[in-house]
């Protein structure tokens, strides 16, 4: 099903990208940023379904859009505010309450993501009679896996690691805050984080973390030499990679095409880390939809690096860690509360 999305919120665009990335029955035609842009892209793409942020539209604009989608007979999702709940809707329109994200609440993001997934699956079921693609992993297999590899950290000496790379998506802000606070005020290697967020929201996230985390937090910069104990976030719309120049490892911005609609992509960062840091890299894959980071974990593990996945119980959405586990790319699965202490033991801070 091809979907055209009119959405002004950076975090919703990120969540929607992940939903599409995790569901092979959904194809994202394009994003529209304004009413006129949406109408134009509607004519260009001929989507099977549309998703509209109605919170930025006037009542007159909403009813005008209702008429248009009714004429086109397009299944449609309209995000609405509390004041718009009494709108008279055509049969082909589903209203979806749009929560606020002032506190970066993982619970709010989880509820939104799951609600969106269910709504899209309901539309898919009506159109194509396909089932939902949400699955859960058997916790017993997870415990068995942990039991087999719990002593893997003994393979690495205390001085072997040069980088900690973290991939995260839905539910990321509070998850990242908890993990970084668990590391304390110093850490012996640089920390690189790729979080699926768009431009406006990533600046807010950095400022929020700078006020709530002891470690120094920055946006990564192109051709910058990273410092131990500093946290570097990938900016929006670039992939973070690494290269070696004159015995120094530097951060490098890669402008390749999005990977499954994602730029930055965790896989891009992990793959580059595998090539440049090799066995001296630790990769941590946290909560998020889809499978971004799974292939990268496989590559890091193959070159002798160490890979950690957040467990299902502590994830907001278990998609990304689950995909990496199933791909055979994970050395150990840990609860979020266990990851920071485990990392400190790995590097012996």
Residues annotated as catalytic are 169, 196, 292
9 closest CA partner among 291, 200, 221, 285:
200
Q: Give the Cα separation of 324 and 320 in Å (integer).
A: 6
Contacts of 327 (CB under 8 A, 6+ apart): 291, 294, 295, 297, 298
231 closest CA partner among 174, 185, 294, 285:
185
Residue-level length of the chain: 349
Q: Is 96 exposed, middle or buried (0-12, 13-18, 19+ CB in 10 A)?
A: middle
According to DSSP, residue 5 is labeled E
Phi, psi of 193 (to 5 degrees): -125, 125
Instruction: Please check whether residue 182 is in contact with residue 310, taking contact to mean a CB–CB distance below 8 angstroms.
Output: no
Phi, psi of 12 (to 5 degrees): -65, -40
Contacts of 42 (CB under 8 A, 6+ apart): 4, 50, 68, 72
Q: Give the Cα separation of 335 and 326 in Å (integer).
A: 17
Q: Give the Cα separation of 124 and 24 in Å (integer).
A: 11
62-89 in b/e form (b: 16+ CB < 10 A) is: beebbeebeeeebbbbbbbeeebeeeee
CA 327 to chain centre: 18
45 closest CA partner among 24, 72, 70, 84:
72
Q: Where are the alpha helices (DSSP H) in the chain?
A: 10-22, 35-45, 59-72, 106-128, 139-149, 172-183, 199-210, 266-276, 294-302, 319-326, 336-347
């Amino acid at each position: 099903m091809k979907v055209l999305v009119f959405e002004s919120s950076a975090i919703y665009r990120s969540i929607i990208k992940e939903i599409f990335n995790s569901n092979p029955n959904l194809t994202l035609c394009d994003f529209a940023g304004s009413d006129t842009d949406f109408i134009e892209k509607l004519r260009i793409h001929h989507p099977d379904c549309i998703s509209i942020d109605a919170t930025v539209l006037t009542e007159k604009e909403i009813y005008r859009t209702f008429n248009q989608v009714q004429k086109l007979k397009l299944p449609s999702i309209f995000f609405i505010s509390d004041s718009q709940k009494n709108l008279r809707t055509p049969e082909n329109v589903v209203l979806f309450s749009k929560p606020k994200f002032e506190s970066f609440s993982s619970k709010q993001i989880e509820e939104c993501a799951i609600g969106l997934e269910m709504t899209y699956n309901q539309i898919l079921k009506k159109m194509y009679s396909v089932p939902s693609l949400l699955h859960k992993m058997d916790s017993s297999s997870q415990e068995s896996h942990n039991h087999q590899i719990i002593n893997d950290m003994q393979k690495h000496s205390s001085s072997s690691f040069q980088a900690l790379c973290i991939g995260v998506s839905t539910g990321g802000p509070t998850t990242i805050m908890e993990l970084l606070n668990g590391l304390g005020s110093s850490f012996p290697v640089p920390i690189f984080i790729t979080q699926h967020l768009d431009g406006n929201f990533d600046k807010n996230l950095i400022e929020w973390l700078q006020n709530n985390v002891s470690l120094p937090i920055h946006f990564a910069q192109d051709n910058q030499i990273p410092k131990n104990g500093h946290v570097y976030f990938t900016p929006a719309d670039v992939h973070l990679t690494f290269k070696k120049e004159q015995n120094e490892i530097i951060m490098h911005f890669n402008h390749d095409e999005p990977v499954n609609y994602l730029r930055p992509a965790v896989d891009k960062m992990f793959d580059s880390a595998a090539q440049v840091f090799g066995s001296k890299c630790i990769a941590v894959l946290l909560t998020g939809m889809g499978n971004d980071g799974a292939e990268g974990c496989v590559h890091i593990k193959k070159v002798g690096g160490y890979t950690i996945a957040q467990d299902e119980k502590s994830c907001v959405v278990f998609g990304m860690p689950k995909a990496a586990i199933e791909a055979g790319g994970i050395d150990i699965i840990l609860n979020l509360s266990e990851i920071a202490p485990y990392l400190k033991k790995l590097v012996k801070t």
